Amino acid sequence: MEDITVTELQEKIENSEKVQLLDVRQPHEREEFNIGGEFIPLGELTNRMADMPFDKEKEVIIYCRSGNRSGVAKEILEKQGFEKARNLLGGMLAWSKLMEKE
């Protein structure tokens, strides 16, 4: 599925849409700043697929610091049958820039 921009995600959140979020950053990155969601660092994702709390039929938005690790995580989820996995383009760096503009 197509990736998602921070502006599109912000609209979903503002419209109170139920969003399945997956944070694949490291613990220290999440402590600094996070927008919620399930926290599974990328290095643990493959081993924790059985514990994945998401509905495979629904959209899952994956984020990291810049969008690189979440792109890898998207591929992992797609191989496991998550057809609506979407990478947050630019990650938390882009999200922070968007929030600065407001």
CA 60 from chain centre, in angstroms, equals 7
Q: For 13-72, write each residue's pLDDT tens digit.
A: 999 999 999 999 999 999 998 899 999 999 999 999 988 899 999 999 999 999 999 999
Whole-angstrom Cα distance, residue 69 to residue 43?
10
Q: Which CATH architecture has domain 6-101?
A: 3-Layer(aba) Sandwich (3.40)
Structure tokens at 83: 């057809």
- 3-class secondary structure, 24: coil
What's the pTM value of the predicted model, to 2 decimals?
A: 0.94
